[in-house]
Amino acid sequence: MRVLRTAGSTCGALLLGALLIASASADEDGQRDQVRAAREQDALVNGTRLYEVTETVHFGATGMTVTSRDAVAVLMGFAPVGTPLCPVAALVTNPAAKTCTVTGMGQDSVSLATGTGEVWGTFAVVVNAPGNSSAHVPDLPLMTGTFKGKNDLSPAVLHGVPLGSIRGTFTIDGDPSGQPVPFTGTFRLPFALDGNGRAKEPDHEREGTFYLGDDGLLIPIRSHERTLGFPAVRLEVSF
């Protein structure tokens, strides 16, 4: 009887563990779906928005004087259907989609004297590759291209205001017209507030963080605007 009771207890514990794991997995799936829906809704309401996923920075110098900030950044975000980064033709695998997933890698060299500098890079409109689960990061490019332009980070570099801008053109690979498409954008850099209400660098990922609006008001950073918990630089693109 003791053996039966022990076996019964073990089976019960295993069943409870399986149920808890299934419940946790379902909760994670639900949260992931909510975050994805929030990102897509954000793009539909506010237009194309890209977020910095990673950035690698180096500083150039002349002698002992630092003269430039050179960076390579990876970006990812969403563009609404019907915009230059999400033409209907790019949705051949999912005609019902309302947004496109856009990735990009950009490089710039910004003068610390002026806060401006050239920027260039590549981009892709991507979907899930065959065989991927629905939760997989989209990785199959349907449309690719290049871009170039000029960054103006002088508000941040010279005045400590967490804003910047970009102006340039992009070209779609294989486009018969070969015509560059002009675009502009606003960078919003994340920041926190100190005890006196002044902007500062966030001390940790759980700290309340904000973007600065064009009207000077604080824009709370939402969960889908974070990368592995870290608040991300946001780029708002206009065509």
Per residue in 160-216, pLDDT tens? 999 999 999 999 999 998 899 999 999 999 999 999 989 999 888 778 999 999 999
Percent of the chain as helix, strand, coil, to the nearest 5: 25, 45, 30
Instruction: State percent of the chain over pLDDT 70.
Output: 84
Provide the mean pLDDT of the chain.
87
**E strand or H helix that includes residue 76:** strand 65-80
CB half-sphere exposure, 63, CA atoms < 13 A? 1
Predicted pLDDT at 92 = 62
- In this structure, are residues 219 and 189 in contact, taking their beta carbons and an 8 Å threshold? no
Predicted pLDDT at 88 = 81
Please report which confidence band the pLDDT of residue 9 belongs to, taking 50, 70 and 90 as the band edges: low
In sign, the C-alpha dihedral spanning 37, 43, 74, 84 is positive
CA dist 43 to 36, 128, 164, Å? 11, 19, 20
Angle formed at CA 46 by CA 97 and CA 215, multiple of 5 degrees: 170
Predicted pLDDT at 200 = 92
At residue 238, what are phi and psi to the nearest 5 degrees?
-125, 150
